[in-house]
């Protein structure tokens, strides 16, 4: 499993922008992202495989950046159990909670997008170790 997309947004209703790498700061979040400096919501991660299933249900393609998740991996299920750990390159993450899709997705993507993304939205994580995350970085889901 590897990172295939990285998106950050400097503010709440500001469009996300795609980047090739981002600095992850332990206890703070992704540098340049709207959630940098928050207590627990440091980074969100989703799976392209789950986006594809949601898009098939919706009948409309879903761009990874439109979901406003920070990291998209190529395949697999993202752990959602609080306390689960994963590693992306040198950066260790801990799952805080499952990431629920926002109703605004119906406006940004297509009507029914939030429903199609239900149980497929990935996870909200906190950053435990600092480092850089880049496109192509390997993801290890067994970092418990």
Nearest Cα residue to 4 out of 57, 79, 70? 70
Q: Are 45 and 122 in contact (CB under 8 A)?
A: yes
pLDDT in tens, 20-30: 999 999 999 99
Task: Count the residues in the chain.
Answer: 144
Task: In whole angstroms, give the CA distance from residue 112 to residue 110.
Answer: 6
Taking only the tens place, the pLDDT of each residue in 107-139 is: 667 676 666 666 777 899 999 999 999 999 999
CB distance 71 to 46 below 8 Å: yes
DSSP secondary structure letter of residue 1: -
**pLDDT at residue 106 tops 70:** no
Tell me which residue has tokens 């909200």: 124
Dihedral over Cα of 139, 38, 54, 72: its sign: negative
- Average pLDDT on 100-109 reads 67
More confident residue, 55 or 17: 17
Mean of all residue pLDDT scores within the chain: 84
pLDDT at 96: 93
The first and second tokens of residue 77, run together, are 């299920």
CATH class of 3-140: mainly beta
């Amino acid at each position: 499993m590897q990172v295939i997309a990285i998106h950050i947004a400097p503010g709440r209703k500001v469009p996300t922008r795609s980047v090739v790498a981002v600095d992850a700061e332990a206890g703070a979040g992704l540098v340049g992202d709207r959630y940098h400096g928050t207590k627990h919501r440091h980074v969100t991660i989703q799976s392209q495989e789950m986006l594809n299933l949601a898009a098939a249900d919706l009948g409309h393609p879903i761009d990874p950046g439109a979901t406003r998740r920070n990291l998209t991996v190529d395949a697999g299920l993202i752990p959602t159990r609080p306390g689960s750990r994963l590693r992306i390159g040198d950066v260790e993450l801990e799952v805080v909670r499952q990431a629920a899709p926002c109703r605004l997705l119906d406006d940004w993507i297509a009507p029914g997008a939030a429903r199609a993304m239900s149980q497929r939205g990935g996870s909200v994580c906190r950053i435990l170790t600092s480092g850089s995350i880049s496109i192509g970085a390997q993801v290890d889901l067994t970092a418990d």
